[in-house]
A and B are shown apart, each in its own frame.
Chain A
Amino acid sequence: MPRVPRWCGCLLAAVLVASASGCDSGGSPEEPPEVSVSVPEGFAPLPVPVQNPLRADRVALGERLFFDPILSRDRSVSCGSCHLPDLAFSDGRARSVGVGGATGLRNAPSLLNVAYRPTLFWDGGALFLESQALVPLEDPHEMDLPVADALDRLRQHPEYPALFAEAFEGDGPSIQTLTYALAAFQRTLVSAPTDFDRFRNGETAAFSATERAGFALFQQHCASCHAGPQLTTDGFENNGIVVTDEDPGRERITFSETDRGTFRVPSLRAVARTAPYFHDGRAATLAEVVDHYDRGGEGTPGQSPRVRPLRLQPDEKAAIVAFLETLDDRPAPVHTLP
């Protein structure tokens, strides 16, 4: 077999790639057990990339890492410090506080259903859960630990090297394996069905009369952005919030002035557990949020025409809040498949 020149784009290379990627998805005869999570009706099947299957060992390792403060400079903060399970993996603060009490610019969002988000962060800057994890790790306002130091700590740990080796075919802690494990765990964070799902599935009695009235108003005034079972289009919109140069929203990503004040439409799943609200936690309660929309926003440049004065009656505002309060999602149980 002669050595094939690389510049001709040859068949041999293609064949080898095919067999190389074949190895990735399990060269051993026995497939390692994976986990499954049932998703609420109306959700698409849980998106899991072929590169990072939901192996039970990987998810368990990711869960342990997620709650381990070893990944912060002074070993005081874990991912779970700002993403608390009881608060649907948000943190109850207006803006997150990291290592040494440093306050960041933004509010920690819920991580429920994060596998479904096509983009991550309030400005949609990050594209993949795997690469996203390096941001809080290294951010001086969050965990403030260079990734090389994080990997050193894990390599010297009495248990982690073996857990990595098991979950990653012998590979120890690396940027890839660390971020894959964290991402695998986070993909299993899915909503268990709520009254909202039961109502959507035709169980009218799941909602009180007020909640039903609130949902009807929500459909009329809010659902063009907070759409479908996940209550978001995942698009980018300006909902009439005043921003500063420090955090101009999606403009930071696109460098386009028309994106100033534009944020990813957040899913409202679990919104009853994720106060305070908006990207910097400026609204303390759901009633304040509804007031913002009722006023028609602050009239910011570039505000969406769909945010306009609604002139709602007090009982109508209360009804919308009552509907939003039904969105009190808890994580669905995770099952290991035999």
Chain B
Amino acid sequence: MTLRHLAPLGALLLALTLTACDSNSNEPTDLRLDLSATVDGAAFAAGQPFAVNGTTGQLDIAQLYLSGITLLHEDGREIAILAETPITVRAQDENEAEIQHTVTEQYVFANAAAGLSPVSLGEVPSGRYTGLRFLLGVDGLDNRIAPGDAPDDHPLAPKDPSMHWNWNAGYVFLRFDGLLDIDGDGTVDPSTGTPRDAASGQWRMHVGGGTNAQTVTLNQPFELSGGAMEDLQMEVDLAAFVSGLDFSDASDRWCMTGGCQDVVDTVKGNASSAFTVLGVQ
């Protein structure tokens, strides 16, 4: 039996407790993270062209990982969100020894092309918050686990399209696959299949590596009134990640993390401005 199976029972008990007492503002909030993806000021849709860095692009795959979500309470408390159900899986430590490792953090896997739905963050104290902090990435031992050991419904379980390199340790934490307009006619161009080919419209950016994980702090206040289910609405502007890249240069259009640290660094630098807290609903 897992906690997942218990959750409905827990929810029922919670409901009973709630009706039993007056609603008051000290009650915790059952919080969800409601992430939505945009490009160029409009909702993102897979395979639909949008303006990016002075040209036209489209993304067929747009996936990312958030972890280490920490809510910054006005009273100074930092509320770190842990997974509802920790999982124990194989990992390899720095000395290449295989160990059993427990992943305790709540990971959020966002597959923008498939459409995003709210992710439960569990119960948190109500009240006013000055903002939140999280990591765009997977780091530490969590990045050296055997993905197949995670239960199918875990954010770190194998994904299709994949978020793990397999031929190398670790997760891709930001994956963009699509096409760009390279001849300037306003429509995206086909891929020739050859990486970094000047004649190819292929747009590929797979960013990973524990050292590339980027902390994002959003000093954007919100308030949780408590007592009920509330959604923290956050927007991620996918085009903002690549702001400043020069898409006329084939090497800025194709980056699998190795040998393109300049592209990776640009993305890291853009990470904070890609996210916005919209409010609580």
A interface, CB within 8 angstroms of B: 1-7, 9, 12-14, 16-17, 19-21, 23, 47, 49-51, 118-119, 121, 125-128, 130-132, 134-135, 146-148, 174-176, 179-180, 234, 252-253, 255
Cα A148 to Cα B162 with chains together (Å):
10
Neighbouring A residues of B259 by C-beta, 8 Å? 255
Q: With A17-B85, A148-B160 known to touch, is A252 a contact of B166 (CB < 8 Å)?
A: no
Q: Are B152 and A7 in contact, CB atoms less than 8 angstroms apart? A: no
Chain B's closest residue to A23 (CB) is B1
Cα A255 to Cα B102 with chains together (Å):
28
Q: With A13-B86, A118-B92 known to touch, is A130 a contact of B146 (CB < 8 Å)?
A: yes
Neighbouring B residues of A1 by C-beta, 8 Å? 10, 13
Chain B min CB distance to A145 (Å): 12
Interface residues of B in 1-46 (CB under 8 A from A): 1-3, 6, 10-11, 13-14, 17, 28
Q: Is B68 part of the binding interface, using a Cβ–Cβ cutoff of 8 Å? A: no
Q: A49-B146, A118-B98, A126-B166 are in contact. List 5 more A-B contacts (CB 8 A).
A: A7-B79, A20-B85, A51-B146, A119-B92, A131-B147
Of the residues A3, A16, A180, A252, contact of B123 by C-beta under 8 Å: A3
Neighbouring B residues of A20 by C-beta, 8 Å? 1-3, 85
Of the residues B87, B89, B158, contact of A134 by C-beta under 8 Å: B158
Q: With A131-B146, A253-B168 known to touch, is A49 a contact of B90 (CB < 8 Å)?
A: yes
Q: Are B13 and A2 in contact, CB atoms less than 8 angstroms apart? A: yes
* Number of A-B residue pairs at CB separation under 8 A: 132
Q: Are B81 and A6 in contact, CB atoms less than 8 angstroms apart? A: yes
Q: Are B85 and A16 in contact, CB atoms less than 8 angstroms apart? A: yes
Neighbouring B residues of A7 by C-beta, 8 Å? 79-82, 122-124
Cα A135 to Cα B158 with chains together (Å):
13
Q: Are B152 and A51 in contact, CB atoms less than 8 angstroms apart? A: no
Cα A271 to Cα B247 with chains together (Å):
48
Q: Is B75 part of the binding interface, using a Cβ–Cβ cutoff of 8 Å? A: no
B interface, CB within 8 angstroms of A: 1-3, 6, 10-11, 13-14, 17, 28, 79-90, 92, 96-98, 100, 102, 104, 106, 121-124, 144, 146-149, 152, 157-158, 160, 162, 164-169, 257-259, 261
Of the residues A3, A13, A130, A255, contact of B85 by C-beta under 8 Å: A13
Q: Are A118 and B96 in contact, CB atoms less than 8 angstroms apart? A: yes
User: Residue among A49, A125, A134 with the most chain B CB within 10 A?
Assistant: A134
Q: With A131-B148, A179-B148 known to touch, is A49 a contact of B167 (CB < 8 Å)?
A: no
Chain B min CB distance to A86 (Å): 27
Q: Are B2 and A6 in contact, CB atoms less than 8 angstroms apart? A: no
Chain A's closest residue to B164 (CB) is A131
Q: Would you mind naming 14 contact pairs between A and B with Cβ atoms under 8 Å apart?
A: A3-B17, A7-B124, A9-B82, A20-B1, A119-B92, A126-B167, A128-B90, A130-B146, A131-B147, A132-B167, A147-B160, A176-B148, A176-B157, A255-B257
Cα A7 to Cα B86 with chains together (Å):
12
Q: Are B123 and A126 in contact, CB atoms less than 8 angstroms apart? A: no
Q: Are A121 and B167 in contact, CB atoms less than 8 angstroms apart? A: yes
Q: Are B122 and A125 in contact, CB atoms less than 8 angstroms apart? A: no
Chain B min CB distance to A200 (Å): 25
Neighbouring B residues of A47 by C-beta, 8 Å? 98
Cα A125 to Cα B164 with chains together (Å):
12
Chain B min CB distance to A9 (Å): 6
Cα A16 to Cα B28 with chains together (Å):
23
Q: Are A128 and B85 in contact, CB atoms less than 8 angstroms apart? A: no
Q: Are B82 and A125 in contact, CB atoms less than 8 angstroms apart? A: no
Chain B min CB distance to A132 (Å): 7
Chain B's closest residue to A118 (CB) is B96
Nearest first, the 9 A-B pairs at minimum CB distance are A6-B122, A5-B123, A175-B158, A125-B168, A128-B146, A3-B10, A118-B96, A3-B14, A130-B148
Neighbouring B residues of A49 by C-beta, 8 Å? 90, 98, 146
Q: With A6-B84, A20-B1, A49-B98 known to touch, is A127 a contact of B169 (CB < 8 Å)?
A: yes
Chain B min CB distance to A127 (Å): 5
Neighbouring B residues of A148 by C-beta, 8 Å? 160
Of the residues B83, B152, B169, B258, contact of A6 by C-beta under 8 Å: B83
Cα A79 to Cα B209 with chains together (Å):
29
Chain A min CB distance to B12 (Å): 9
Neighbouring B residues of A19 by C-beta, 8 Å? 1
Neighbouring A residues of B3 by C-beta, 8 Å? 12-13, 16, 20
Chain B's closest residue to A5 (CB) is B123
Cα A147 to Cα B159 with chains together (Å):
10
